Amino acid sequence: MKFIDLEPQRERIRQLLDERIAAVLDHGRFIQGPEVYELERVLSEYSGSAYSLACSSGTDALLMSLMAFGVKPGDAVFIPSFTFVATAEVVCQLGATPVFVDIDPDTCAMCPDALERCIQALGSRAASELPAGGLSARGIIAVDLFGQPADYQRLNGLAEKYNLFLLADAAQSFGATQSAVAHGTGVCRVGKLAPITTTSFFPSKPLGCYGDGGAVFVQDERLYEILKSIREHGQGSERYRYERVGINGRLDSLQAAVLLAKLTIFGDELCLRNEVAERYHGMLSGMISIPRAADGSSSSWAQYCVRSSKRSDIIRVFKEAGIPHAVYYEVPLHLQTVYREKGLIIEDLRNSEQVAREILALPFYPYIPEGAQEEVANAIRVALGH
Ligand SMILES: *Cc1c(COP(=O)(O)O)cnc(C)c1O
């Protein structure tokens, strides 16, 4: 059994992949070739975002977004502690301070009530109590953990109320939806739920390439122009003339070609992911705490994570049965020495700590056989003594 198996997908679109890759080899424009522009058009169409910018990774997408906002030392950026390290890393790379906010234990996303308490508490703290003699609140990075969008209805409202930028780290949730009133009525896809959204095309994400890749989705034209410049070493409208400090943040044409091939079946794969999740729900509900998309949201099911206080018993049975599994994330960032020192904790992060003790990711991919899911469910049944 495999935790994630990319092979069935590869064989399904093998011919298209071969053709797309051959086209890049033939035209030879490996950097900023036509596939990159085509991909950006398709991504905008699919997500509904006004602008899409392909880039080198999900981490660079976050970094470039913070650079576009001019994040600098003395700035505080509110982030969940229960996330992949990249969310905090980019804040620290720019010398700013991550302020850790607790999560909602049901969605594993940032809790809007905890966020508002932290914003208010930071505002009323004396400068002498804060690192480097003072911090000003600049922005929020929400994370759509395991594929489910955070509560953008409320987060957008808080960002406006306190004049903060809101960045959605949608590395795991590309393809998910949420009914959104703040940004036009109706259901919106990830990419349009926040003013700026980043995603990752790491191979195991819901939409993955065959290397590193990512994208930024942005609604504001000025911000888009700044991001384009940052992606190209800060270049201005003339070649080799620089207007700002940037990075090499480009996606290469081969990866864009792979993504274009995969996008032809992405919608169908999202349906398959939902079917696989429904099957797990049916096998596991009543036995263990299962993940559910909140009302008004759909998940892209980057991971299927159950929760149990008997996690170590389940892992023991999984090991005996040869069932692959993973723990995302064992240690929340505020408990990791480097980020405890660099970051700020305003109130306790008990949900993050509790979920980190209980979370367990099960084998999951669109083409997982039902028999494999049954094996997983049986192992859990044995471990829990049902
Ligand atoms: C995967 C991931 C990233 C980083 O994406 P890369 O493409 O690997 O750089 C950032 N944030 C979250 C929440 C992720 O899961």
From the number of C-beta atoms within 10 Å of its C-beta (0-12, 13-18, 19+), residue 20 rates as: buried
Given a cut of 70, whether residue 100 has pLDDT beyond it is: yes
Given a cut of 80, whether residue 132 has pLDDT beyond it is: no
Q: Please, which residues bridge with residue 55 across strands?
A: 214
Residue 249's closest CA among 226, 231, 270, 225? 231
- CB distance 83 to ligand 1 below 6 Å: yes
How far apart, in whole angstroms, are the C-alpha atoms of residue 259 and residue 174? 13
- Residue 143: the pLDDT is 98
Given a cut of 60, whether residue 320 has pLDDT beyond it is: yes
Q: Which residues contact 144 (CB under 8 A, 6 or more apart)?
A: 109, 150, 168, 169, 170, 171, 172, 173, 176, 190
- CB distance 143 to ligand 1 below 6 Å: yes
CA distances to 336, 364, 379, 382 from 322, in Å:
30, 15, 10, 14
Q: What angle do CA 196, 200, 201 make, to 5 degrees?
A: 135
- CB distance 87 to ligand 1 below 6 Å: yes
- CB distance 257 to ligand 1 below 6 Å: no
Which numbered atom of ligand 1 lies nearest the CA of 62?
A: 10
Peptide bond before 367: cis, by omega within 30 degrees of 0? Answer: no
Across residues 121-131, what is the average pLDDT?
A: 79
* Residue owning the nearest CA to atom 14 of ligand 1: 171
Ligand 1 pocket mutation, candidates 59, 65, 198, criterion most atoms within 8 A of CB? 59
Residue 119's closest CA among 103, 134, 102, 99? 99
Q: pLDDT by residue (tens digit) across 154-198?
A: 999 999 999 999 999 999 999 999 997 555 568 999 999 999 999
- Residue 145: the pLDDT is 98
156 neighbors 165 (Cβ within 8 angstroms): no
How far apart, in whole angstroms, are the C-alpha atoms of residue 263 and residue 272? 14
- Residue 88: the pLDDT is 98
Residue 269 banded pLDDT, cuts 50, 70, 90: very high
Backbone angles phi, psi at 177, to 5 degrees: -135, 165
Residue 351 banded pLDDT, cuts 50, 70, 90: very high
Which numbered atom of ligand 1 lies nearest the CA of 144?
A: 13
Q: Which long-range contacts (CB under 8 A, 24 or more apart) does 321-327 make?
A: 321/375, 321/379, 322/1, 323/1, 323/363, 323/375, 323/376, 323/379, 324/1, 324/2, 324/3, 324/363, 325/3, 325/360, 325/361, 325/362, 325/363, 326/3, 326/360, 326/361, 327/359, 327/360, 327/361
Given a cut of 60, whether residue 321 has pLDDT beyond it is: yes
How far apart, in whole angstroms, are the C-alpha atoms of residue 252 and residue 8? 24
174 neighbors 42 (Cβ within 8 angstroms): no
Residue 314 banded pLDDT, cuts 50, 70, 90: very high
36-45, 100-109, 119-128, 350-359, range with the lowest pLDDT: 119-128
- Residue 186: the pLDDT is 84
- CB distance 144 to ligand 1 below 6 Å: no
- Residue 180: the pLDDT is 72
How far apart, in whole angstroms, are the C-alpha atoms of residue 33 and residue 27? 8
- Residue 181: the pLDDT is 59
Q: Taking the complete model, does pTM exceed 0.85, yes or no? A: yes
Q: pLDDT by residue (tens digit) across 36-93?
A: 999 999 999 999 999 999 999 999 999 999 999 999 999 999 999 999 999 999 999 9
Instruction: Give percent of the chain above pLDDT 90.
Output: 94
- Residue 183: the pLDDT is 53
- Residue 125: the pLDDT is 79
The per-residue pLDDT of the chain, averaged, comes to 96
- Residue 386: the pLDDT is 82
Give 262-320 as a DSSP string. Answer: HHTTHHHHHHHHHHHHHHHHHHHTTTSB---PPTTEE---S-EEEE-TTHHHHHHHHHH
Angle between helix 253-263 and 14-27 (nearest 10): 150
